[in-house]
Amino acid sequence: MKHVSIVMMILVILFGSLIVSACGVMEAQHAEALALSSATSTPLPLPTRTPVNTPSPVPTRTPVPATSTPSRMDLPVENEGLQIEVLEIEKPYQIHLSETSIFVPGKGHMFLGLGIKVTNLTNEDIPFKWNEIYLTNKYQDRWYPLWGAYKKTNMVIDPLGIEIRQFKVDHKNQPEARIYLGDNGYMRVIFRVPRDNYYYYLGFADLPWIEIVNEDS
Could you report the per-residue pLDDT of 131-148, keeping only the tens digit for each?
A: 899 999 988 899 999 898
Q: How far is C-alpha 213 from the chain's CA centre?
A: 27
Q: Where are the domains of the chain?
A: 77-213
**Res. 217: pLDDT tops 70:** no
Residue 175 · residue 36 · CB < 8 Å:
no
Q: What pLDDT is stored for residue 70 in this prediction?
A: 83
Characterize 20-40 residue by residue with b for buried, 16 or more Cβ atoms within 10 angstroms of its Cβ, and e for exposed: eeeeeeeeeeeeeeeeeeeee
Whole-number Å distance between alpha carbons of 147 and 170: 8
Q: What pLDDT is stored for residue 71 in this prediction?
A: 87
Total residues found in the chain within this entry: 217
Q: What pLDDT is stored for residue 174 in this prediction?
A: 67
* CATH match of 77-213 with 2.60.40.1240: yes
Whole-number Å distance between alpha carbons of 47 and 165: 90
Q: What pLDDT is stored for residue 197 in this prediction?
A: 86
Q: What pLDDT is stored for residue 35 in this prediction?
A: 42
Q: What pLDDT is stored for residue 10 in this prediction?
A: 60
